[in-house]
């Protein structure tokens, strides 16, 4: 059996972090099993679906390194749905119901008042042909419900949650088609999973009850059901479900300078027993992917943790991986010099400006530092710049002045970079070069 997973977003907005995590785990499982990862655009809601969001979904998946092996669109599959729908109506698995939304709401209120669960009473099944014909004559179009088999318990072994059991008689027959003919999520999704040969579905635990209903739809279709893995939902850093998670997506991560490898590394591991590590290559993440490692507790997503992972990812990225996104003229030696100090790749441009200049130098603290920089200027003009100018400069100044530690190094760093902290001066000073260094020391002394 070839493992086939699918990611099925609706193109009504940008992907958010929860969507991305779902897509990632479907992709990782397929890759771990040598299978296929499919993208299905669930665009049955024509009024809300937009082509720009379809393009954005593809772009986001490509950016994350999760290009699908194939793509389907529900809007191109309506003929298949009609065929399956007609067969299920004929077999008695789907029936028309004529209650208005107001009538259904009143029924629920009455049930609540009696302390009963809000389960549809199947009144539509008692209608005679004459009563149905009367509704049709009056222009009342039916909505359509899937008839659950109350005599068959619903059970499956979830790959994360373990044994699951539902009693169909405690659930309402789900509406699968509206009165205007448009489709709801449940039946088209089951039809597509069956037709596309999907073997495994990874999705959020908020879909568990949907799975219970869809298992009976697979049976009615005469199709084998996929195996399901329902993972715990993401929570925000504050420890509860956060609306902000719905606004965090690949576009946001790109805007704030997060690398796709960092997004993958974090979302692959949060909610599992494995540690989050700054892994740049997807292969080790895929190799360790195992549903048995997933916990039932909500998975905590923290932007601060993502930023930390991102920094550690950057510190490991080779020049070839970033060369086309670095400032013009910045080469491999400069990248390796500034890389340990980056939080986002945009920081590389800041350090390139420090190297290229000009730099702004704060006024000196007093006459002692001014005299010290006079000596530094003379020493810098005399040392050998061909090998290790920083050690040559500081060794000579230490011998001449007796300074050491912060008093030795900080005035030099400030004069040469305009900063109190930064990349190792051993690597940075050769990039600044002799002429710029001398000019900066002279300018700092003059300030």
Band of residue 364 on the pLDDT scale cut at 50, 70, 90: low
Using a pLDDT cut of 90, give the percent of the chain over it. Answer: 91
Strands 70-73 and 36-41: parallel
What would the pLDDT profile of 127-165 be if each residue is shown by its tens digit?
A: 999 999 999 999 999 999 999 999 999 999 999 999 999
243 labeled binding residue: yes
Shared domain check, 120 and 35: no
Shared domain check, 84 and 132: yes
Band of residue 244 on the pLDDT scale cut at 50, 70, 90: confident
Assigned domain for 203 exists? no
Assigned domain for 191 exists? no
Assigned domain for 6 exists? yes
Shared domain check, 380 and 311: no
Assigned domain for 201 exists? no
Find where tokens 């549809």 sit: 120
For residue 362, the model assigns a pLDDT of: 72
For residue 131, the model assigns a pLDDT of: 96
What mean pLDDT comes out for the span 212-236?
96
Domain that holds residue 343: 319-356
Number of neighbours of residue 80 by Cβ within 10 angstroms: 14
What would the pLDDT profile of 157-209 be if each residue is shown by its tens digit?
A: 999 999 999 999 999 999 999 999 999 999 999 999 999 999 999 999 999 99
Assigned domain for 202 exists? no
Judge residue 239's burial from the number of C-beta atoms within 10 Å of its C-beta, 0-12 exposed, 13-18 middle, 19 or more buried: exposed
Strands 94-97 and 143-146: antiparallel
What would the pLDDT profile of 289-305 be if each residue is shown by its tens digit?
A: 999 999 999 889 999 99
Assigned domain for 43 exists? yes
Assigned domain for 390 exists? yes
For residue 419, the model assigns a pLDDT of: 93
Shared domain check, 97 and 161: yes
Shared domain check, 268 and 293: yes
Residue (of 245, 228, 254) closest to 299 by Cα position: 245
Cα–Cα distance measured from residue 312 to residue 281, given in angstroms and rounded to the nearest whole number: 13
Instruction: Please list, in sequence order, all residues whose beta carbon lies within 8 angstroms of the beta carbon of residue 161, skipping any fewer than 6 positions away.
Output: 205, 208, 230, 296
Q: Which letter does DSSP use for residue 365 in this model?
A: S
pTM above 0.85, yes or no: yes
Cα–Cα distance measured from residue 224 to residue 160, given in angstroms and rounded to the nearest whole number: 20
How many domains would you assign to the chain?
Answer: 4
Shared domain check, 330 and 287: no
**Domain boundary residue, one of 139, 154, 177:** 177
Assigned domain for 246 exists? yes
Shared domain check, 92 and 46: no
Band of residue 367 on the pLDDT scale cut at 50, 70, 90: confident
Interior angle at CA 184, CA 178 and CA 185, nearest 5: 170
pLDDT at 67 over 90: yes
What would the pLDDT profile of 75-127 be if each residue is shown by its tens digit?
A: 999 999 999 999 999 999 999 999 999 999 999 999 999 998 999 999 999 99
Domain of 134, CATH number, reads: 3.90.800.10
The mean pLDDT value of the chain amounts to 94
């Amino acid at each position: 059996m070839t493992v086939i997973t699918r990611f099925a977003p609706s193109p009504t907005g940008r992907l958010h972090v929860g969507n991305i995590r779902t897509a990632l785990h479907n992709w990782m499982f397929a890759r771990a099993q040598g299978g296929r990862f499919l993208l299905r655009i669930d665009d049955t809601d024509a009024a809300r679906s937009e082509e720009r969001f379809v393009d954005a979904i593809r772009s986001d998946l490509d950016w994350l390194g999760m290009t699908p092996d194939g793509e389907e669109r529900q809007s191109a599959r309506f003929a298949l749905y009609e065929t399956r729908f007609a067969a299920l109506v004929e077999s008695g698995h789907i029936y028309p119901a004529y209650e208005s939304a107001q009538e259904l709401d009143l029924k629920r209120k009455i049930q609540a008042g009696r302390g009963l669960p809000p389960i549809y009473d199947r009144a539509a099944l008692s209608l005679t042909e004459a009563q149905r014909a009367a509704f049709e004559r009056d222009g009342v179009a039916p909505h359509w419900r899937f008839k659950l088999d109350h005599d068959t318990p619903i059970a499956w072994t979830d790959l994360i949650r373990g044994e699951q059991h539902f009693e169909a008689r405690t659930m309402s027959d789900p509406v699968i088609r509206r009165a205007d003919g448009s489709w709801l999520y449940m039946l088209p999704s089951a039809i597509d999973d069956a037709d596309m040969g999907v073997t495994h579905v990874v999705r959020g635990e908020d879909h568990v009850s949907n799975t219970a209903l869809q298992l009976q739809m697979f049976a009615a279709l005469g199709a084998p059901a996929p195996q399901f893995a329902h993972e715990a939902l993401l929570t925000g850093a504050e420890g509860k479900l956060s609306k902000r998670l719905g606004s965090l997506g690949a576009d946001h991560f790109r805007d704030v300078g997060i690398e796709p490898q960092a997004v993958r590394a974090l979302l692959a591991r949060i909610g599992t027993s494995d540690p989050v590590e700054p892994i740049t290559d997807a292969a080790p993440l895929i190799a360790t992917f195992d549903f048995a490692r997933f916990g039932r507790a909500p998975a905590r997503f923290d932007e601060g943790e993502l930023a930390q992972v991102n920094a550690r990812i950057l510190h490991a990225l080779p020049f070839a991986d970033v060369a086309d996104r670095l400032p013009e003229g910045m080469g491999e030696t400069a990248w390796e010099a500034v890389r340990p100090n980056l939080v986002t790749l945009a920081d590389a441009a800041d350090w390139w400006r420090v190297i290229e200049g000009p730099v702004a130098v704060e006024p000196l603290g007093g006459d002692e530092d001014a005299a010290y920089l006079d000596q530094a200027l003379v020493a810098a003009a005399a040392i050998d710049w061909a090998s290790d100018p920083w050690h040559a400069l500081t060794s000579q100044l230490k011998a001449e002045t007796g300074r050491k530690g912060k008093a030795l190094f900080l005035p030099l760093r400030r004069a040469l970079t305009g900063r109190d902290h930064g990349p190792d001066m051993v690597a940075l000073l050769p990039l600044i070069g002799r002429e710029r260094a001398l000019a900066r020391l002279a300018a700092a002394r003059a300030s």
